[in-house]
């Protein structure tokens, strides 16, 4: 890699932009999948056992609950895109992203058969646990983006403050 590329990588907000793009792609693609019956059915054992999500099935039905989640994911993704130019919007979207991943992590504890007995006596990941556990990294990335956007908003506030 040429030295100027390394300096660009180190000096610019490459990590924040990359995290933003990654989260946007995840929200767009996962939101898209919610429009298909296979995904609505796959969510059923996860959400129906969750105190946070079970209410969605009687309210919206199986496919309707999936649609609602897809719309929410697309809204967060759109907020993150707009946040490139509008830090206040991104603060809201990044906070919503944090809430999203915090709530999906709770599914590890509420979904039956997510932990299996192991020979050593310590529970081993089973069911959807390994799939859901990656959301811890997405939560960390969302928190990183939230912190960055909050700092931008605070910097804008300070720079627009009238002299005293």
Strand residues in 10-63 grouped as ranges (E): none
pLDDT digits (tens, 9 = 90+) for 27-75: 999 999 999 999 999 999 999 999 999 999 999 999 999 999 999 999 9
The ranges assigned to domains in the chain are 15-152
pLDDT digits (tens, 9 = 90+) for 73-127: 999 999 999 999 999 999 999 999 999 999 999 999 898 888 777 766 677 787 7
45: enclosing H helix or E strand: helix 37-47
User: CA gyration radius for the chain?
Assistant: 19
Token pair, residue 164, equals 């005293």
How far is it, in rounded angstroms, from Cα 99 to Cα 93? Answer: 10
pLDDT of residue 119: 60
How far is it, in rounded angstroms, from Cα 63 to Cα 67? Answer: 6
């Amino acid at each position: 890699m040429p030295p100027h590329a390394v300096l660009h990588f180190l000096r610019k907000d490459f990590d924040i932009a990359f995290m933003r793009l990654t989260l946007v792609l995840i929200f767009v693609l996962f939101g898209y999948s919610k429009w298909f019956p296979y995904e609505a059915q796959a969510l059923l054992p996860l959400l129906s056992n969750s105190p946070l999500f079970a209410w969605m099935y009687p309210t919206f039905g199986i496919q309707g609950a999936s649609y609602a989640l897809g719309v929410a994911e697309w809204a967060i993704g759109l907020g993150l895109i707009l946040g490139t130019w509008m830090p206040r919007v991104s603060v809201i979207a990044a906070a919503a992203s944090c809430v999203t991943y915090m709530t999906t992590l709770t599914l590890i504890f509420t979904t039956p058969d997510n932990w299996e007995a192991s020979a050593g006596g310590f529970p081993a990941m089973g069911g959807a646990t390994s799939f859901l556990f990656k959301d811890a990294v997405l939560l960390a990335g969302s928190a990183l983006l939230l912190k960055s956007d909050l700092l931008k908003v605070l910097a804008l506030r300070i720079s627009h403050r009238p002299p005293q």
